[in-house]
Amino acid sequence: MLGALEYILKFVNWFFLFYLMVYATYLLLSVSVGAWDLYYANKMRRIKNEIKHDFYFPVSIVVPAYNEEVTIVDSIESLLQLEYRLYEIIIVDDGSSDDTVKVLVEHFKMRMVHRPIRKRLICEQEKAVYKAEGLRVPVILISKHNGGKGDALNMGINASSYPYFLCIDADSMLQADSLEKIVQPVMEEDNVVAVGGLVRAAQSLKIKDGKRVGYRMPWNLVTSMQIMEYDRSFLAARILMDRFNGNMIISGAFGLFKKDMVIAAGGYDRETLGEDMELVVRLHVFCRNNKIPYSVRYEPDAVCWSQVPESLGDLRKQRRRWHMGLFQSLMKHRKVFMNPVYGWLGMVSYLYYLLYELLSPMFQVIGWAAMAASAVTGILNWDFMIRFYLMYTMYNAVLTITIFFQRIYTLNLKMSALDSVKAVVVCVLENVFFRLFLDVVRATAFIGYGKRKKQWGEIKRVKQDGV
């Protein structure tokens, strides 16, 4: 009996070590590739290798909102400051129980119109349509019955007038040049069906009239650790996967899509919690199944500042939701897994998301527990276990610090010395505690899963002026 237990623990230990080493290798490779690409892109811009045009193409910005009365006006104001010639803003209120509609109607002096909406995608019925007058771009507000985020996005797509739409969260803010940057891949390459941008934590930003006027590390540890986490995940996964058209996620907070293709693929799934990922995977599957040449791109210079949860409770809610969304998306498109028909997407991206995103929390919790049990039973010596944990954590921390400062540099952000020191400390803390906390949250995400279908992931919002 003891012999069998020892055998199992040994197997789990070595599997876990192998698992971590593969991840460490992947991380190193992706960060190196990402760093190279970002420096190269910087150089290209410096020596006039860029596409500049007075007039690109019209874009509809779709902003789904649910109980966003605190931040929605600031967000829309930031969208009105974009340096872009032709765009429209479509806000879709998904049956909010607060005063989201009222604050918008009053602030932008909107009036009700009887605008028919062509329902090319299934969504709940609209209650009222409002239109703002006298603004530099058309602003439409659609108040509809509650149906979830995917449903609200479908409504926004239905009401949009232009061939490309940008989806953005209601608590997010764009820099003045964000729209111009995110359309660049479409100008450079034929067949681009979707483009993702870089999402960063808005709490670290001071913005005025669409321009950054300051950047700092917040004192709130939950917020600052997420800043590190966002930078690492965007640089680590997106740029490398972009090289082989393997990106499976475009954040719902900031993504540009070709409307016709999204409609042809069926629009956002109204039943999935991770509707953003599900749509991207479906676009891959749809294009490959129908032999349509396509690419899904990532544009690291297009930046969106999105509010991140400030309390552990809100963060827990958000991550459980994301993890369930990931599970639903991967399960729904399981035929992609290791299927050569889907090329690198099936052989690498899907595998990565399955092993290092979906199953990672389980592996981490079980793996570290098995190592601890092995140390207690004498199978593994304590010295090795502690040394390994410290070294592995240090490795991740150093890599995170590298990524963070590289993004600070390439985005031309200025930080004080105090904030730099804070960033280093936060990097270490994030790798020691925060990742473990998130692993536990995600490992238990499925408890009570059925009850939360179609719900919006509400987190407490703060007014951006207060930062």
Distance (Å, rounded) from C-alpha 172 to C-alpha 464?
Answer: 10
Q: Which stretch binds other proteins (CB under 8 A): 94-102, 113-121, 149-157, 439-447?
A: 113-121
- Decide: is 433 part of the binding site for other proteins (CB under 8 A): no
- Decide: is 187 part of the binding site for other proteins (CB under 8 A): yes
Binding mask 126-165 for other proteins (x = CB under 8 A): -----x----------------------------------
Q: How far lies 185's CA from each of 64, 248, 249, 446, 466, in Å?
A: 25, 17, 17, 37, 35
- Please say whether the beta carbons of 299 and 197 come within 8 A: yes
CB of 396 to other proteins, least distance (A): 9
CB of 282 to other proteins, least distance (A): 24
Interface with other proteins (CB under 8 A), residue from 1, 47, 213, 447: 47
Interface with other proteins (CB under 8 A), residue from 97, 190, 219, 378: 190
CB of 50 to other proteins, least distance (A): 6
CB of 398 to other proteins, least distance (A): 4
Residue 190 or 465 with smaller CB distance to other proteins: 190
Q: Which stretch binds other proteins (CB under 8 A): 77-85, 187-195, 208-216, 325-333?
A: 187-195
CB of 128 to other proteins, least distance (A): 14
- Decide: is 57 part of the binding site for other proteins (CB under 8 A): yes
- Decide: is 432 part of the binding site for other proteins (CB under 8 A): no
CB of 265 to other proteins, least distance (A): 19
- Decide: is 287 part of the binding site for other proteins (CB under 8 A): no
- Decide: is 260 part of the binding site for other proteins (CB under 8 A): no
- Per CB under 8 A, contacts with other proteins among 372-401 are 384, 387-388, 391-392, 394-395, 398-399, 401
Interface with other proteins (CB under 8 A), residue from 7, 11, 14, 344: 14
- Decide: is 344 part of the binding site for other proteins (CB under 8 A): no
Interface with other proteins (CB under 8 A), residue from 102, 115, 335, 414: 115
* Size of the chain in residues: 467
Cβ-proximal residues to 266 (8 Å cutoff; 6+ apart), any chain: 121, 282, 286
- Decide: is 245 part of the binding site for other proteins (CB under 8 A): no
Distance (Å, rounded) from C-alpha 121 to C-alpha 263?
Answer: 7
Residue 188 or 209 with smaller CB distance to other proteins: 188
Distance (Å, rounded) from C-alpha 57 to C-alpha 232?
Answer: 32
Interface with other proteins (CB under 8 A), residue from 107, 125, 145, 188: 188
Distance (Å, rounded) from C-alpha 389 to C-alpha 372?
Answer: 11
Instruction: Please say whether the dihedral angle defined by the alpha carbons of residues 416, 418, 422 and 424, taken in this order, is positive or negative.
Output: positive
Angle at 169 between CA 351 and CA 239, to 5 degrees: 35
Distance (Å, rounded) from C-alpha 377 to C-alpha 257?
Answer: 55
Closest C-alpha to 329, from 280, 377, 363, 262: 280
- Decide: is 113 part of the binding site for other proteins (CB under 8 A): yes
CB of 171 to other proteins, least distance (A): 30
CB of 286 to other proteins, least distance (A): 21
CB of 80 to other proteins, least distance (A): 20
Distance (Å, rounded) from C-alpha 101 to C-alpha 145?
Answer: 13
Cβ-proximal residues to 178 (8 Å cutoff; 6+ apart), any chain: 82, 197, 254, 302, 303, 304
Residues that contact other proteins, how many (by CB under 8 A): 48
Structure tokens at 7: 């055998």
- Decide: is 44 part of the binding site for other proteins (CB under 8 A): yes
Q: Which stretch binds other proteins (CB under 8 A): 36-44, 75-83, 98-106, 312-320?
A: 36-44
- Decide: is 417 part of the binding site for other proteins (CB under 8 A): no
CB of 31 to other proteins, least distance (A): 7
> Binding residues for other proteins, per CB under 8 A?
14, 17, 21, 24-25, 28, 31-32, 35, 39, 43-44, 46-51, 53-57, 113-116, 118, 131, 186-190, 384, 387-388, 391-392, 394-395, 398-399, 401-402, 405-406, 409
